[in-house]
Copies of this chain bind each other. A is one copy, B any other.
């Protein structure tokens, strides 16, 4: 059937999260520990404690690892609410890249790997990072990957330069996407390897300044210099790296959409409130036609985004991979949320370009979202390629 009614459980969860975020997390947005490179680790731990106390920690984590085991549609509802503050997902331990990494470990890791990394990670003892993107390639087109690994017996030695690695500083471990050189009958190809971050051979070379500022630990250039990784740290199988990228990708795209949808909803609320209170030329500015039109366009686009997210979540909940559909949703939603945030800035006028409201940050975050996890142009190219095949 076709229906749009959250279950009572979903509604209750949404309300609890909304209240939690708006009352307990939003006040931290002015905390000096939120700087241009994201919240500090100290603040992250403090916010995590609040979420744990509220019973809202890591809702996406399977029950066996201490979470709520939400399906994708429920996640859509919960994560949108979490995203009302850029700090919400951090507090609830459902921010990128951790959330995607938990999902990937849950689906692909061995039991031993799960015990070693997933269990304490899901509990918030540390964060993680995902070392895939490289400068000048291996972003949109992973075939350009230059980070290489060779065998050392059954173990691996990795060298290369990764870039835009979110959350690298302070992470407990990283998943490294690299190209393993085959040796004898030992297989090669694109592979995911796990490494503790304090291993010798990992250097955080440089912190990048970026438009966005919501990710704990910021974005880094990370150098792997003869990093030794034992055989038991292969995630899944050697040579299957691209398959795991896909496993991680579709849900990770969607959760980005969910969280930033919440951000855009918040921005719209602030803009609407301002449009009611601020007067110009004798009436509230929201009653001036073009401002009103922008608010209405936002209202329509937010609902479209929500429906698109729900649609693909329902697909995933039925066991489909949703590769094409999640690509469509990521593209449509990121572009739409940016338009929404952009209009909110404009409604706020001078106020909109200042940090006096969180709209300014949400504008920057949604701008970056149009590029993270694949720029819209690459998605559209991939979507149309599939369509052309029929």
Evaluate contact between A350 and B139: CB separation under 8 angstroms: yes
Distance in angstroms between the alpha carbons of A387 and B136 in the assembled complex: 21
Q: Which residues of B contact A135 (CB under 8 A)?
A: 351
Interface residues of A in 372-390 (CB under 8 A from B): 372, 375-381, 383-385, 387-388, 390
The interface on chain A, measured as residues whose beta carbon lies within 8 A of the other chain's beta carbons, has a size of 94
Minimum CB–CB distance from A97 to chain B (whole Å) comes to 14
Q: Which residues of B contact A240 (CB under 8 A)?
A: none
Candidates B208, B311, B352; contact of A371 at CB < 8 Å:
B352
Interface residues of A in 163-222 (CB under 8 A from B): 163-164, 208-212, 219
Evaluate contact between B314 and A308: CB separation under 8 angstroms: no
Binding site for B on A (CB under 8 A): 1-7, 10, 36, 73, 133, 135-137, 139-141, 144, 163-164, 208-212, 219, 272, 275-281, 284, 286-297, 299-301, 303-304, 307-308, 310-311, 313-315, 328, 331-332, 342, 345-346, 349-356, 360, 363-364, 367-368, 370-372, 375-381, 383-385, 387-388, 390
Evaluate contact between B300 and A332: CB separation under 8 angstroms: yes
Q: Which residues of B contact A355 (CB under 8 A)?
A: 208-210
Q: Which residues of B contact A140 (CB under 8 A)?
A: 280, 349
Minimum CB–CB distance from A363 to chain B (whole Å) comes to 7
Evaluate contact between A349 and B371: CB separation under 8 angstroms: yes
Distance in angstroms between the alpha carbons of A375 and B362 in the assembled complex: 19
Evaluate contact between B284 and A363: CB separation under 8 angstroms: no
Knowing A289-B289, A290-B293, the reply to whether A308 touches B304 (Cβ < 8 A) is yes
Candidates B137, B219, B381; contact of A290 at CB < 8 Å:
B381
Evaluate contact between B308 and A328: CB separation under 8 angstroms: no
Q: Which residues of B contact A136 (CB under 8 A)?
A: 277-278
Knowing A209-B355, A346-B376, A354-B208, the reply to whether A73 touches B297 (Cβ < 8 A) is no
Evaluate contact between B292 and A291: CB separation under 8 angstroms: no
Evaluate contact between A219 and B2: CB separation under 8 angstroms: no
